[in-house]
Amino acid sequence: MDFKTMMAKRKDRLSRVQSQLEKESTKGSSYEDNRFWRLESKDGNGSAIIRFLPEAKNDEIMWAKYYRHEFKGTQGWLIDNCPTSIGEKCPICEANNQLWNEGGSENEDLARSRKRRLKYISNIYVVQDTVNPDNEGKVFLFQYGAKIFEFIDKKINPPEPEFKDMTPEEPVDVFDFFEGCNFRLRMRKKAGYVNYDMSTFDEPSAISEDETEVEEIWNSQHSLQEFIAPDYYKSYDELKERFEKISGQATSAPEKTESKLTVDEDEDEVEEIRPKSNRVTKPSKPKAKPSSDDDELSFFEGLAEA
């Protein structure tokens, strides 16, 4: 870039720098991390075939589970991991709890908009990606929400048949290299949100018959430990300062931002599923799934009792 070009770009430098600082201040964000794969689409519709992978080298988990806050305040977006994921206090959850206790539809709507959202991260192998075929045959990290995890849970722990004359479905370890399943991830727009209801698992099959190739895939996997480590989360004071700034409570000058966020429908749910562990278990009788509002109420009540 020559001097004349640099001078011409001065006019929008402030907004560009503010946008860059906004991204860097989002500790733990996966949006700019090239280890992560995301399904791209046209007009909100798209599909791909992926394979969930087993635990990586020196790992004991096949998914990292945590919570995030993703909302727009009066001074921009706040996209940050929730410290309750690791048993720590969260200033945003505390503020939401206060709103909930005060009551009123406006307070409750604001608390819901700022609620923590359930997230999972797993290693995947991309079998087919029609939009970005260069991704095929490679290992990535994949962040997903409760809806996609529900597909995994039902395949590993299939529900009992509705009728006695129906053959029970056999549980499948979808994370296994040889006896797992390809996952057909189908994304479509529904009522203005991204929806994955049409996704399905294929029949069990080996990811490859070549053990050398399988070992290469395994060696390419990423550790999930960083996503559940304390330093993946801002401290209470850091997050409080950030929250107050975004919500307009800070005394500093208002911050401009160009950050945008696309929220998937399944990522807008809070703790729909509560797996007991990251290990494959025997089929168990499914329990009634709480609604989002019921889960929010129990969460806020738990904070009040803490």
pLDDT at 256 over 80: no
Where exactly are the structural domains of the chain?
A: 13-305
Give the pLDDT mean for 189-207: 92
Q: What is the pLDDT of residue 41?
A: 83
Tell me what percent of the chain is helix, strand and coil, each rounded to the nearest 5: 35, 20, 45
- Tens of pLDDT, residues 151-166: 999 999 998 888 888 8
Query: Which token pair is 136?
Result: 């095929």
Please, what is the average pLDDT of the chain?
A: 80
Give the pLDDT mean for 88-102: 96
Q: What is the pLDDT of residue 303?
A: 43
Considering 21-30, 251-260, 267-276, the range whose residues carry the highest mean pLDDT is: 21-30
CATH classification (class only), 13-305: alpha beta
Query: Which token pair is 231?
Result: 């330093």
- Tens of pLDDT, residues 5-32: 655 655 665 655 555 555 444 444 444 6
Residue closest to 261 by CA, chosen among 90, 124, 68: 68
Give the pLDDT mean for 221-227: 95
Give the alpha-carbon dihedral of 73, 274, 265, 46, to 10 degrees. 130
Question: Which one is predicted more confidently, 266 or 147?
Answer: 147
Among the residue ranges 11-15, 70-74, 124-128, 152-156, the one predicted with the least confidence is 11-15
CA angle 156, 157, 163 (to 5 degrees): 130
Q: What is the pLDDT of residue 136?
A: 97
Q: Which residues pair with 67 in a beta bridge?
A: 118
How far apart, in whole angstroms, are the C-alpha atoms of residue 269 and residue 147?
8
Q: What is the pLDDT of residue 89?
A: 96
pLDDT tier for residue 78 given thresholds of 50, 70 and 90? very high
Give the pLDDT mean for 197-210: 96
Query: Which token pair is 57?
Result: 């080298």
Query: Which token pair is 63?
Result: 């998914």
Collapsed DSSP state (helix, strand, coil) of residue 10: helix
Q: What is the pLDDT of residue 265?
A: 44
How far apart, in whole angstroms, are the C-alpha atoms of residue 26 and residue 199?
30
Give the pLDDT mean for 93-105: 95
- Whether 146 and 266 have beta carbons less than 8 Å apart is answered as yes
Q: What is the pLDDT of residue 11?
A: 60
- Whether 302 and 277 have beta carbons less than 8 Å apart is answered as no
Tracing tokens 């168990």 back to the chain, one arrives at 284
Give the pLDDT mean for 75-97: 95
Strands (E), 130-199: 139-144, 182-190, 193-195
Helix locations, the chain, DSSP H: 3-8, 13-25, 91-102, 105-113, 146-156, 211-219, 236-246, 292-305
How far apart, in whole angstroms, are the C-alpha atoms of residue 222 and residue 145?
19
